[in-house]
Copies of this chain bind each other. A is one copy, B any other.
Amino acid sequence: MIPAEAGRPSLADTAGAGARPAAKPHLAVVGATGAVGRVLLGILSERADVWGEIRLIASARSAGRKLTVRGEEVEVVALSEDAFDGIDVAMFDLPDEVAAQWVPVAVSKGAVVVDNSGAFRGDPEVPLVVPEVNGCAARMRPRGIIANPNCTTLSMIVALGALHAEYGLSELVVSSYQAASGVGQAGAETLRAQLSAVSGTGLGAAPGDVRRAIGDTLGPFPAPLALNVVPWAGSLQADGWSSEELKIRDECRKILGLPELPVTATCVRVPVLTTHSMAVHARFENEVTVAGAHEILAAAPGVVLFDDPAAGEYPTPSDVVGTDPTWVGRVRRSLDDPRALELFVCGDNLRKGAALNAAQIGELVVGELRG
């Protein structure tokens, strides 16, 4: 079901079940020059080509730049109402407050929006979609918006969804190991600059040594990231929680359809460029076995089971970066609770954690027209 969007031509109108062949819908990538946008252009170039025009939209500052998608150079146009003329689907990766302003503009111009900001994820009229877990939810979008989950949630939710379907999730305790690029290109660039500043200095033996070495290159981080870990991601919320920690709780509940699920998270930034990792303690309604969990994970779409410590096999960010699946290893049953599993999960925060999931949602929308 595609809700009608008052009085304008919509995807449903232009490409419905009628007799004429469906034209390929037109896509806008909004925030095309950012860290997620660039990865998205690569992903759109790799996957089955379901799109007509791919229009690249960014801030006025970036307008006129040329980026390559599907092997062709495309000039970036400035974000404006007119930029959405003729667009069927728009994938947004902009800061929350900018998305809050411009997503409704794109919708008003007739586009279905796949939004990667946090602006709409909590809206009960906006589905929060992970195709492998709750793809059907994408069809119910009364506001014309489908939200893409946060990269941290996305780094683990495909694996958790598969286990939940079999065992029934009853509690989550997660600790994150989040990459610098989770805050965008400035994060990765800052980490590279900090690494250059500390490399070869013999640092690390006294308090504040690293802080002194990196000088004023904190970038978007609240503390040095090179040779350090920082237990903070996002903004301060009530009772000492970070926004990133609350997102994990809210988004897991919404995606899994478990509004009362106990979820507690501690989010920590680590000196990794790209790929988030999560240590997950997952308790279920039913008893679990490692063999059973292995079987579920090995069969789950979008999951790679990589779990043979005797052979040195467990996922690490440097081996996972640049790949699409969620990688799962270190599967153990809690020694004191036959209903709980421990997992270590890695996912590329720019691919499945953002751009790939958005591309998959876009393909679901296109598929509605074809189906």
Chain A residues in contact with chain B, CB under 8 A? 171, 173, 175, 177, 188, 192, 195-196, 198-200, 202-211, 222-224, 227-232, 236, 239-242, 249, 262-264, 266, 268, 270-274, 277, 279, 281, 290, 307, 309-310, 312, 314-323, 329-337, 340, 342, 344
Contacts and interface: CB of A to CB of B under 8 A. Distances in A.
A316 B264 contact: no
B264 A340 contact: yes
Total copies of the chain: 2
Among the interface residues A175, A199, A200, A322, which one has the most CB atoms of the partner chain B within 10 A? A175
A266 B173 contact: no
Contact of A330 (B199, B209, B266, B340): B266
A355 B316 CA distance: 31
B279 A175 contact: yes
Contacts of A330: 231-232, 240, 266
A262 B173 contact: no
Given A177-B270, A202-B192, A279-B268, A309 B232 contact: yes
Contact of A263 (B227, B279, B336): B336
Given A200-B196, A205-B322, A332-B239, A317 B249 contact: no
B177 A208 contact: no
Contact of A344 (B228, B268, B271, B332): B268
Given A195-B198, A342-B266, A318 B232 contact: no
A38 to B, nearest CB: 10
A320 B207 contact: yes
Q: Which of A229, A232, A266, A321 has most B Cβ within 10 Å?
A: A229
B264 A336 contact: yes
Contacts of A210: 318
Contact of A335 (B177, B206, B249): B249
Contact of A318 (B209, B262, B290, B335): B209
Contacts of A240: 290, 307, 309, 330-332
Given A208-B319, A223-B318, A318-B223, A336 B229 contact: no
Nearest to A333: B239
Nearest to A271: B271
A39 B232 CA distance: 30
Contact of A231 (B195, B239, B281, B344): B344
A356 to B, nearest CB: 15
Given A173-B173, A204-B321, A223 B316 contact: yes
Contacts of A177: 177, 229, 268, 270
